[in-house]
């Protein structure tokens, strides 16, 4: 039995296990080519974020040194 919670009119899985099962079902409903395309999109997004936290930390240090 899957637990559901409602938020803004949308149903959401309640709990970690229910969420994990839903993600697995969604992944299995895609073809291997669709899963590969999804993975490539996510990797491209992550590459775009690579190093941003370190850059933000340096900018904060520089602005505090000016004060």
Query: How much is the pLDDT for 2?
Result: 46
Indicate the pTM of the whole model: 0.49
Residues 6+ apart with CB under 8 A from 3: 13, 14, 15, 18
Contact predicate 13/3, CB 8 Å: yes
State how far Cα 14 lies from the chain centre.
18
Choose between 6 and 11: higher pLDDT. Answer: 11
Query: How much is the pLDDT for 63?
Result: 61
Sorted by where each begins, the domain ranges of the chain are: 1-30, 32-67
Write the pLDDT tens digit of every residue in 22-59.
Answer: 888 888 889 999 999 999 999 999 988 887 777 666 66
- Predicted confidence band of residue 13 (pLDDT cuts 50, 70, 90): confident
List beta partners, residue 7.
10
Query: How much is the pLDDT for 55?
Result: 66
């Amino acid at each position: 039995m899957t637990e559901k919670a409602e938020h803004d009119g949308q149903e959401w899985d309640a709990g970690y296990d229910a969420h994990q099962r839903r993600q697995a079902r969604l992944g299995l409903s895609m073809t291997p080519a669709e899963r590969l395309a999804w993975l490539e999109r996510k990797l491209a997004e992550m590459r775009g974020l690579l190093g941003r936290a370190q850059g933000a930390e340096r900018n904060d240090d520089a602005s505090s040194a000016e004060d």
